[in-house]
Amino acid sequence: MGATREIAPERAARPAPDVARRRIGDRDGVLAWLLLSPAVVYVVALVGVPFGLAVAFSLSDVTGGDPSFDWVGFRNFARIFEDPIFWRSLRNTFVFTAVSMLLIVVFGKILANVLVAEFRGRWIVRFLVLLPWTTPVALSTITWLWLLDSVFSPIDWVLRQLGLIQSNMYWLGQPVLAMGSVIAVHVWRLVPLAAVIMMAGLLSIPRDVQEQAAVDGAGFWRRMFEITIPLTAPVIAISALFGAIFTFTDMTVVYVLTRGGPTNETQVLASWAFFRGIEGSDIGQGAAIALFLFPLLLAAAIAILRVVRRMEVS
């Protein structure tokens, strides 16, 4: 009884903050919100607020010279529907995204298979492969601007030395070649990201599954289409989703290489929204053009995520 009486005062004298801190740490709901709050604030500040401003600007007549907010309803949307460059940009956006995503997934899968193979110096190769993705997009695109120069292009010089062409190709001066150049540079940038994501999926496949298939006589292509691709299909779909988001909203490559030319033949929605809203000072119409990216991206994301869910369930 004496010992009990001596311990009781010590418990009563224990500082209350320790008890309160321990209670917060034991409450999963409170702790979850505390840990999520920085991410929520970040998303709201960098996504929610700009999106709300874009919606407000698209319903107003705000310009660079007159920042006053005057309600105009859907007049900006009616104007862009009458703009032929908008429809050309919309078409180019779909072509740009579809072709880029197909090439990114194919080349990313090939590169991922190379990177998971056992060979000497593979860590150096992995580092070099990641350089296009880690290099600032403006810097790397300026390098391509020099490589595709209409007069001093090293690519044209090599092709002439090989006898494949007689004169310069004017990569950025012809509509088809300009769009092909924009797609090629964008694919070059995003293939490393897709390869890293798919490489993680390949490394998650149990080695004994591949070895058992090889023992049973399955060749490389049969293992690829019956084992590797089905098991990594969800990862491939996720990499396609990231690639689609980056491709659909990208305007840096177009801006640096062609600025939408020649004659707006390489304009995409993101670049045309920038030219109309920022350089053209018609902020309301630029915001209305940019808002078309949201429903298209939302539909693509929902479709891809549903495919991934079905793959995981099956």
282-308 residue pLDDT tens: 888 888 888 888 888 888 778 777 877
The answer, yes or no, to whether residue 17 has pLDDT greater than 70, is no
Query: Which residues partner with 71 through β-bridges?
Result: 60
Domains recognised in the chain with CATH numbers: 2-50 (no CATH), 83-313 (1.10.3720.10)
Cis peptide before 262 (omega within 30 of 0): yes
Cβ(244)–Cβ(250) below 8 Å:
no
Q: How would residue 88 be classed by pLDDT, with cut points 50, 70 and 90?
A: very high
Q: What pLDDT shows up at residue 7?
A: 47
The answer, yes or no, to whether residue 30 has pLDDT greater than 80, is no
User: Can you list the alpha helix ranges (DSSP code H) found in the chain?
Assistant: 2-13, 16-26, 28-43, 49-58, 75-81, 84-115, 122-134, 137-147, 154-161, 175-203, 207-215, 220-223, 229-248, 252-257, 269-274, 283-291, 293-313
- pLDDT by residue (tens digit) across 136-182? 888 888 889 999 988 888 988 898 888 888 888 888 888 899 999 99
The answer, yes or no, to whether residue 66 has pLDDT greater than 70, is yes
* Per-range mean pLDDT, top range of 207-216, 239-248, 271-280: 271-280
Token pair in block for residue 283: 């902020």
* Per-range mean pLDDT, top range of 5-9, 182-186, 204-208, 246-250: 182-186
Percent of the chain residues past pLDDT 90, beyond the cut: 9
Q: What pLDDT shows up at residue 184?
A: 93
> Which has the closest alpha carbon to 235: 302, 297, 308?
308
What residue has token string 């995003």?
190
User: Mean pLDDT across the chain, nearest whole number?
Assistant: 81
Token pair in block for residue 152: 């001093």
What pTM value is reported for the model?
0.79
The answer, yes or no, to whether residue 16 has pLDDT greater than 70, is no
Percent of the chain residues past pLDDT 70, beyond the cut: 89
